[in-house]
Amino acid sequence: MSDYNFAYLDEQTKRMIRRAILKGIAVPGYQVPFASREMPMPYGWGTGGVQVTAACLTPEDTLKVIDQGADDTTNAVSIRKFFEKTADVATTEHTDKASVIQTRHRIPEAPLTSDQILVYQVPIPEPLRFLEPRETETRKMHALEEYGLMHVKLYEDIARHGNIATAYAYPVKVEGRYVMDPSPIPKFDNPKLESPAIQLFGAGREQRIYAIPPHTKVVSLDFEDYPFDPSKADHPCDLCGASHTYLDEVITDDAGGRMFVCSDTDYCASRQAQGHRGRLSPKETAA
């Protein structure tokens, strides 16, 4: 038995966050301000995501935490431990067994279902931030739907690199209204934003919550002659052989050796368990 209130936050705070979440779901893509609390972890480690998760959790939930697709990195492990300790909920590494998934920078490869909630950790919720530094002005631009500036950024990409070089945090338009930063997920994941699951975005330092309700239309911005391209490394996974997943490039020695592996560790492991093999898979031992 722990001395923490369920899921760390006090009940009034959770109510406040739930109100912000409900408003966010009612106005897809709109950034709802909320009174972000100090959490026992530094800003940038997912304080926003943790607060949203805490407000969503029930004792019956099963929680999965991923960081850049992996279940076993510091950020994922420490947040999972945090909720094991403060909420005593079941945790899992399997996407299909989880009811709440907190994620940093990836959407799981396995398709999500309508009884799941995906919580994103967001460092900077304002897609226009680096184009227009004034918050008063960006809010006005959202309110009046003045989004020409977003295309100026894409124009600059093409002018400088010959194509839209924005590879992550690729801006999207939600339900034909608000332009939204999907948090720094790779643009490969953008098509997966149209999902049957509820997607919640929490930015702790910036004190904003926004949401994409299930089956909401999400369009990645582009030009007519430079259409959106959800690109990925042009390789199959070296462990499970998948050619349809987002890959991490891993340097293996100092002689130019490298391998490409699925960034979603759970998906890769389950494929390997099903017998899929890649270029560098360990040879099967004779049973």
Partner 1 sequence: MTPLLSVRNLAKHYGARIGCTDVGFDLYPGEVLGIVGESGSGKSTLLNCLAGHLEPDTGEVLFDTRSDGPRDTLKMSEPERRMLGRTDWAFVHQNARDGLRMGVSAGGNVGERLMAVGARHYGDIRAQATDWLGRVEIAEDRIDDRPSAFSGGMQQRLQIARNLVTGPRLVFMDEPTGGLDVSVQARLLDLLRGLVREMGLSAIIVTHDLAVVRLLADRLMVMKSGHVVEQGLTDQVLDDPQHGYTQLLVSSILQV
Structure tokens given for 71: 């279940």
Q: Give the integer Cα–Cα distance in Å for 216 and 82.
A: 32
CA distance 245 to 262: 6
CA distance 241 to 262: 9
Q: At what angle do helices 47-56 and 74-86 cross, to 10 degrees?
A: 40
What is the spatial distance between Cα 187 and Cα 107, in angstroms, rounded to a whole number?
A: 11
Q: With beta carbons less than 8 A apart as the criterion, state whether 214 and 197 touch.
A: yes
Least distance to partner 1 from the beta carbon of 182, Å? 20
Measured CA to CA, the distance from residue 260 to residue 92 in angstroms comes to 25
Closest CA to 53 of 26, 23, 83: 83
Q: Which stretch binds partner 1 (CB under 8 A): 61-69, 141-149, 169-177, 244-252?
A: 141-149
CB–CB of 41/50 below 8 Å?
yes
The catalytic residue among 46, 48, 69, 262 is 262
Task: Give residues 158-197 in contact with partner 1 (rule: CB under 8 A).
Answer: 158-160
Instruction: By CB under 8 A, name the one of 22, 152, 165, 280 that touches partner 1.
Output: 152
Q: How far apart are the first and last CA of the chain?
A: 45
Query: Active-site residue 56, yes or no?
Result: no
- Of residues 24, 202, 237, 278, which has the active-site annotation? 237
Task: Tell me which stretch binds partner 1 (CB under 8 A): 8-16, 32-40, 154-162, 252-260.
Answer: 154-162
Q: At what angle do helices 47-56 and 11-26 cross, to 10 degrees?
A: 100
Q: Using the rule CB under 8 A, is 151 a contact of partner 1?
A: yes
* Comparison of 168 and 228: residue with beta carbon closer to partner 1: 228
Residue of 96, 226, 277, 281 that binds partner 1 (CB under 8 A): 226
Taking the complex as a whole, how short is the minimal distance between the CB of residue 198 and partner 1, in angstroms? 31
Write out the E strands in 74-124: 90-91, 100-104, 117-121
Tokens linked to 242: 């998948």
The dihedral through the CA atoms of 233, 239, 242, 248 has a sign that is negative
> Quick one: which segment of 9-17, 117-125, 188-196, 219-227 binds partner 1 (CB under 8 A)?
219-227
**What x-and-dash track marks residues 100-139 binding partner 1 by CB under 8 A?**
-------------------------------x--------
Our answer to whether residue 24 is catalytic in this structure is no
Smaller CB separation from partner 1, 174 or 268: 174
Q: Is 268 a catalytic residue?
A: yes
| Residue 153, CA atoms < 13 Å, CB-side half-sphere | 18
Scanning 65-73, 77-85, 111-119, 144-152 for contacts with partner 1 by CB under 8 A, the matching segment is: 144-152
Find the catalytic residue in 24, 49, 202, 268: 268
Q: By CB under 8 A, how many residues form the interface with partner 1?
A: 16
Kindly give the pairing relationship between strand 62-67 and strand 90-91: parallel
Binding mask 9-38 for partner 1 (x = CB under 8 A): ------------------------------
97: contact with partner 1 by CB under 8 A: no
Catalytic pick among 24, 29, 48, 49: 29
Show which residues are catalytic.
Answer: 29, 237, 240, 262, 268
Enumerate binding residues for partner 1 (CB under 8 A).
131, 144, 146, 148-149, 151-152, 155-156, 158-160, 223-226
